[in-house]
Structure formats: C-alpha cells, structure tokens
Amino acid sequence: MQAAFAPSLPHTLDELGIPITLVTDLVLRRLLMEGFSNLVTLSSKLRLSVPIVDLVFRQLRQQQLVEVRGMVGNDYNFQLSAAGKQMASDRFQISQYAGACPVSLRDYQNAVRIQTAKPQVDRRTLRTAFSDLVVTDRMLDQLGPALISQDSIFIYGPTGNGKTSLAERMLRVYQDAVLIPYAVEIDGQIISLFDPVIHHRIEMEDPELDPRWALCRRPCIVVGGELIPSMLELRLDDTSGIYAAPLQMKANNGIFIIDDFGRQLMSPRDLLNRWIVPLDRRVDYLTLRYGVKFQIPFEVMVVFSTNLDPSDLADEAFLRRIHNKIYVEAVDAPAFDQIFQRVVTSKAIPCEPDSAEYLRHLCLRDGRTELRACYPADICNILKSIGRYEGRPARMTRADLDRATSLYFAKG
C-alpha cells in the first residue's frame, strides 16, 4: 500500500518547518532521559535526519551544554554537562515530550487535504466488502453513492438489524494507506496525534521518506454512550505538558462512527451544535489552553447509527447537512434463514431440517412482529452456554430452542 502524500526526509532546519528552539528542547529532554547517547540513536528516537541532529549537537557543544565522552565508530558518544542537565530539567518542567519530532500545522493541513479519500465503489466491490453479512442489493445501492460522496451518513432503524456491523465494515472499501504524523506543532506546543490503538501501521522501509510520518491504514473510530464533550477538544495533560488530539482529529482521512446516537452522556443537541460547522465546511477549530485558536481539516466521514427517530434527535437544519440517510429495516424470512444457516455453520451446531422455521416461529410469538438479524447468533450463543452448563456439545432441538428463547426474550 502507498499513500498519495510522500514528504521527503528533511536535511535542514528550514525543510523541517518547525522552530529550532523546539528541536533543541527535544534533544535536551531526550538526552536527560537517555544519559549517554550518540547522533544515530538520537536520530532514530526523534525521527530526525542525522544532519539535523548533528547541527543541534554542535550548537549545544559550543554552548558547553554537552560533553563528548568518546567515539562509537565514526559517531560521537556524549552526555549533558551540568549546565545542560539544568537546562534540560527546566525544559522538562514545561513539557515532558521527548518522542518523534512534530510536523508543522501547515504540513499537517496539507497532508490531510491531499489524502482525502476517493474510494472506487460499485455493487461488486461492496458485495465483497460486506461478504460476511447478508445484505440486499437495495441496501448496497444505497451504501454505494453514500460512500463515494464521503459525506456524513445517518443509519437508522430497529435495533438488532446490523447497523453497527454495516458501519464498521465501511472501512473495507478503502484500498489505500495514509501518512499520519506522530505529533503536530502549533505555536510552540506539541499535540500528540498518532495512537497505536486507532492507527494501524504498515511497515515500510523507505529511507527517503520523512520518518515523522507513519504509514497507516485509514483510521476508524467507534464511540458509543461514553462520548463526552471533552473527547472532541484538545486535552492538556498538566503533568506532562502535552496536548492529546481530539477524536475527530485522530479520525481524519477515515471514519468516525457514533454508535447508538442519542444515548451518549453528551446530548445530541450539544454534539450537533459542536459539529454543525465542521460537517458543513469540512474544517474544525481547536483552542490551546491559553486562547490561541487554530483550524484543522475535518476530512472525516461521520456515521451516525441509531435506533431512534432522526426527527427526535436533530432539527431540520442539521439533518439537511447529513446528505445520506439510510434506513435498515427488519429482515424478511429468506434473509433470516440465510443468516441462520451462516451462524450455525460457523458455530458448528448441528440442527434439524426445520430449525430455522421453528426459530422464526418462536421469535414472532408473544406479540413480537419483526424478525431481527441478531436473533440467530444470540440464540446460538445461549445454546452453546446451555451445552457447557450440562457438560455436552451444543445442539439445536426444539426443546433447546424453546429453552434458549425463553431465556432471551423478556416476558411482555
């Protein structure tokens, strides 16, 4: 996989695009942590070229802030002097960041714009992407134009019919990779951006590529009821002095799924008001603690998934900004049987010839009127639990299905 954006390795401070004082502070803090070090090691740890590290080293040596203790091949082995340790300690009190050198805000903005997703999608490619789900051609034909547009999507309908499963598999339509910086510099402050939980690296050796950027698959973030307003703003760790990027910044050039929309600790109105400008203009505004405001791209495909009525969650002005609204309806009998067959095959549960029909009968009694896509897997999990409880393999008899469904469905 390759990215559309490929910045070359900087060899000068001008090419680096960030203040020399910030680079110097990084070297001082890293030396304070390492004790002894050399140019090659610092180059690797800070993801800088050796010429830039050598330039900073020579300046520090001239200021008597480092002391050379020998050679490692053709490289210097050095440590901080007493004055250097004092200066590094002072810098460490302001910020403890000593990782990969950040990129400039301008370079980050350009990178996100260049790497805007442009997936090539048709019914065949979507059928492949959603091959592990039972999806109708009608549903694929709604998803296709929505994914090509890369505008936000509102997926709604009864619970248990695969809205979240559809949203999570949308990432499969992307066949490319993106470069994501480890950190971004704004007004001398460092924002930590790369998150190994979200950003899945693709290992690639390219000595000419700027190592401050990691090659990754396009990100996908899923949040549910735990979403609170602070997750969408810069967060400063008072102990380390490092800002953490908000979720939408980490999701740039990918997908941000808000699952069970309307059931968050953050009210729908607050969330919609926060994002009405980003969704409309594709830019977001963040603020440093001391009031400096700056702009970042909002190149995120936001997917709202809910089983609530959209009109109860948002007003017409906001819904107008979400161009794609996809209703996921309850499954019909043939689709239910197809899902059932896939589930029992994958879970290796032997079943009688009429098991699917009988399970449909059980699911539709006691006043229930709709079949849900989740029923076969949920009931099969209960059958397996019953088998383990009784010390035998799971089986699908009428008696066991009666028992499992009586556990699963609440009495009206």
The domain 19-100 is placed in CATH, from the list 3.80.10.10, 1.20.1530.20, 1.10.10.10, 1.10.287.70, at: 1.10.10.10
Alpha helices in 173-264 (DSSP H): 247-250
Name the DSSP letter for residue 91.
H
Q: Are 42 and 78 in contact (CB under 8 A)?
A: no
Question: What percent of the chain lies above the pLDDT cut of 70?
Answer: 99
- CA separation for the pair 56, 92 (Å, rounded): 18
209-230 per-position pLDDT tens digit: 999 999 999 999 999 888 999 9
CATH number of 333-408: 1.10.8
264-286 per-position pLDDT tens digit: 888 888 888 888 889 889 999 99
- CA separation for the pair 56, 36 (Å, rounded): 16
310-346 per-position pLDDT tens digit: 888 877 777 887 889 999 999 999 999 999 999 999 9
61-107 per-position pLDDT tens digit: 999 999 998 887 888 889 999 999 999 999 999 999 999 999 999 99
Q: Where are the domains of the chain?
A: 19-100, 110-116+134-327, 333-408
**Which residues fall within 8 angstroms of residue 50, CB to CB, at 6 or more apart?**
39, 40, 43
- CATH top-level class of 110-116+134-327: alpha beta
Confidence at residue 223, expressed as pLDDT on a 0 to 100 scale: 93
125-180 per-position pLDDT tens digit: 999 999 999 999 999 999 999 999 999 999 999 989 999 999 999 999 998 999 99
DSSP string, 54-88: HHHHHHHHHTT-EEEEEEETTEEEEEE-HHHHHHH
- CA separation for the pair 376, 336 (Å, rounded): 8
Confidence at residue 3, expressed as pLDDT on a 0 to 100 scale: 64
**Coil, strand, or helix at residue 346?**
helix
**Which residues fall within 8 angstroms of residue 360, CB to CB, at 6 or more apart?**
333, 336, 337, 371
Nearest to 259 by CA among 139, 322, 166, 371: 166
